Amino acid sequence: MTYHRTIHFSDTDAAGVVYFVALLSICHEAYENALQVAEIDLKTFFTSSDIAIPIFHADIDFYQPLFCGDRIQIHLQPIQLNETEFEINYQIFHENNLDKLIAKATTKHVSVTPKIHQRNPLPLFLIQWLQGNLNNC
């Protein structure tokens, strides 16, 4: 699964380089886009009172800087870790050089009941999304 994006001025810090939090946010955009492409209703997914899928861990490594106007591709690979968790691995490349990794990131997600903050098995539609992505990567 691939997400295309142009780096905006608002993604950069005072030195004109993409701020690490901004690139994590862009990775989250790619995640949301992947859900939409799978026809998962984002409003329902993110506002459900029955289930929440928060991120409990995120990390990012940069190998070269990104600047305003750079066109990037983010390659996503979601992986189910167990019955309540999954992670998404992101590889970020310049669109004009897909052989050189610019950055990589990981987000780990857990399924919980929002009212009692107790872990739940991942919902079936999300397992199907994860399995569909595994077959396409």
Q: Where in the sequence numbering do the catalytic residues fall?
A: 13
Which helix (H) or strand (E) segment holds residue 34: the answer is helix 20-37
> What are the tokens at 69?
């106007």
Q: Which helix (H) or strand (E) holds 25?
A: helix 20-37
Other beta carbons within 10 angstroms of residue 3's beta carbon come to 20
